[in-house]
Structure 1
């Protein structure tokens, strides 16, 4: 139903023209290999196979890659949208598909202007390979705006993204667990529109309730519904562990190789916090605000666990799905540690 060719055209328009080839400072492959060696040594996680090679790409290429991933996720949801029968069913569904395509393409194009690097995890399509992506124009632009050394910034981002690659390559159940949560969430999403109701003007109460829901929960919960909150909490808690672990490792490993680590961390936190206008709205609409909380809550959890009981204790989170902290435990690491102590050694 979604016109993905239109989404691709819009995303490329918003992302901007393909820039002349931009070279990142240093040897990206060597940085990734060094990061893998250091991450494995620190975490004890052992990849089951070679990690994907790092790729320096531009903004339109990043947008294209992520639209391919969105297709797997959004097509099943979009199929629920629109009237199933009647003389206007076809035209209405086509119009809705074009609107969705334009919105998805526009948002992806905007995001392509901010992303520095990405381990492109494939959750719903086992045939598509994972990729390790570095958005070269954004990295150089960020280094210039933040007044940090570009080589160190690229190396630091490489540690973060390689940590994600090591996580998913080393923990055999992690990808299937996340994919299962996502499938379950998408199966419960209800975007069936009452097309007759669209002919009526919304009341003031209708508008106020929608605005309240958006402010409190974001677009994800508006569509998923409150009955899916527990599932969404589990998904967000898992992502917070994954992101927070990568942030923790990013600093722990970077301490040995990056002279300006503290400066880099301060600069990155400023970059995440200092967004105004459309970026604030975009974060709320897409649930990216929660992603920022995932970084913060997850990193605090990991730092606290390592401070209390060492890095070995932290990696109990990867023992099994049952060992993952809940959202409440992420905010109270001591309670998670107490639960882990109660588990039998085999767990």
Structure 2
């Protein structure tokens, strides 16, 4: 199935809408460098190399970056989908509906996202990016009644935390990327045959609704999928929970109102990045905000029991990362990883 990615980009930009031009704060890179030092001091994780240069981007640049990663990740899966076998007009309609769904989703996210550590898990040759979406940060500061500089510092700390995690833990990118590659390779991608018989505008709209409910793509895998999903959910819960823990500890010394900023940001966090949302549908991953909260509780429990060094041990090797079950029950992880007497 050929997806019209140019159409997806046009729809994404149209959905995102125009936003006033935004001027980057002074000494933005210096702030990012300081955030790196603060995260390293709080976590003990030290990146092996330089972090990406921080970029102050508009919505269009964020859309381009995310569609590029989505095309790299999902393109090979969609290419395996069989042709509809119908007339060219039908095939073009199918391609357009998929492009509209992807573009609409990315465009909606582009209106809200504040920052992103953009990483192509499947292609290590693609350099990661550290992006702050200027117009959205400007608007969020107004809506949240937050100091703009404080908000920028907070978001920078969060994205730099992810950059430090992936830059410091050699196995992390390969584990997540390898698991994702294995899951995607097992996908059986098939258009809904009932939807493909419809060519009317109303029917295409209804079919697009079925796409939103997972009607376009289906995952057919053996029981081994549960082990893979458990692995990726546990690791992602650690990544996000550790970021939450780090934000509070690294931000305490540089932000005036960490609790206020966290409360304000939590009210905006019902959305997830568009690629992760699509992967949720494709792979049946149930990685909700509850699991991110569990990751934070896990980190608190490990630090209380073993200190910051003990938390750093969770990153020491892939086999030491918590499973999904251990993320929800830190005592189980502490028991499994207890030093030999």
TM over 0.5: yes
Residue pair 1:243, 1:298 contacting (<8 A) in 2 also: yes
- Please report how far the alpha carbon of residue 283 of structure 1 lies from its aligned counterpart in structure 2 after TM superposition: 9.7
- Please report how far the alpha carbon of residue 257 of structure 1 lies from its aligned counterpart in structure 2 after TM superposition: 1.0
1:185 partnered with 2:183: yes
For the residue of structure 2 that corresponds to 1:271, the secondary structure is coil
- Please report how far the alpha carbon of residue 103 of structure 1 lies from its aligned counterpart in structure 2 after TM superposition: 0.9
Q: Tell me how far apart the structure 1 counterparts of residues 80 and 268 of structure 2 sit (CA, whole Å).
A: 38
Paired position in structure 2 for 1:298: 295
Q: Tell me how far apart the structure 2 counterparts of residues 75 and 55 of structure 1 sit (CA, whole Å).
A: 26
**Number of residue pairs matched?**
320
| Structure 1 residues 193-223: Cα deviation after superposition (integer angstroms, max 9, x where no partner) | 36379559xxxxxxxxxx9xx9xxx749x73
| Structure 1 residues 252-280: Cα deviation after superposition (integer angstroms, max 9, x where no partner) | 0101111111111111122225x8xxx9x
The 5 A counterparts of 1:160-199 are 160-193=158-191, 195=193
Residue pair 1:116, 1:136 contacting (<8 A) in 2 also: yes
Q: Classify 1:295/1:139 alpha carbon distance in 2 versus 1 (closer, same or farther; 3 Å).
A: farther
Q: Classify 1:174/1:81 alpha carbon distance in 2 versus 1 (closer, same or farther; 3 Å).
A: same
Paired position in structure 2 for 1:78: 78
For the residue of structure 2 that corresponds to 1:318, the secondary structure is coil
Residue pair 2:39, 2:250 contacting (<8 A) in 1 also: yes
Paired position in structure 2 for 1:207: none
The 5 A counterparts of 1:206-285 are 219=214, 223-225=218-220, 227=223, 228-272=225-269
1:64 partnered with 2:81: no
| Structure 1 residues 230-264: Cα deviation after superposition (integer angstroms, max 9, x where no partner) | 32232122111111111110110101111111111
Paired position in structure 1 for 2:307: 310
Q: Classify 1:146/1:189 alpha carbon distance in 2 versus 1 (closer, same or farther; 3 Å).
A: same
Q: Could you list the runs of 5+ residues in structure 1 that have no partner in the other structure? A: 201-210
Paired position in structure 1 for 2:117: 119
Give TM-score, length-normalised by structure 1. Answer: 0.83
1:4 partnered with 2:1: no
Q: Could you list the runs of 5+ residues in structure 2 that have no partner in the other structure? A: 199-208
Residue among 133, 137, 142 paired with 2:131: 133
Residue pair 2:19, 2:135 contacting (<8 A) in 1 also: no
Give TM-score, length-normalised by structure 2. Answer: 0.85
Residue pair 2:3, 2:99 contacting (<8 A) in 1 also: yes
| Structure 1 residues 85-125: Cα deviation after superposition (integer angstroms, max 9, x where no partner) | x5x27654443222211111110000111111111112112
Q: Classify 1:194/1:42 alpha carbon distance in 2 versus 1 (closer, same or farther; 3 Å).
A: closer
For the residue of structure 1 that corresponds to 2:131, the secondary structure is strand
Q: Classify 1:194/1:142 alpha carbon distance in 2 versus 1 (closer, same or farther; 3 Å).
A: closer
Q: Classify 1:196/1:253 alpha carbon distance in 2 versus 1 (closer, same or farther; 3 Å).
A: closer
For the residue of structure 2 that corresponds to 1:119, the secondary structure is strand
Residue pair 1:234, 1:326 contacting (<8 A) in 2 also: yes
- Please report how far the alpha carbon of residue 135 of structure 1 lies from its aligned counterpart in structure 2 after TM superposition: 0.7
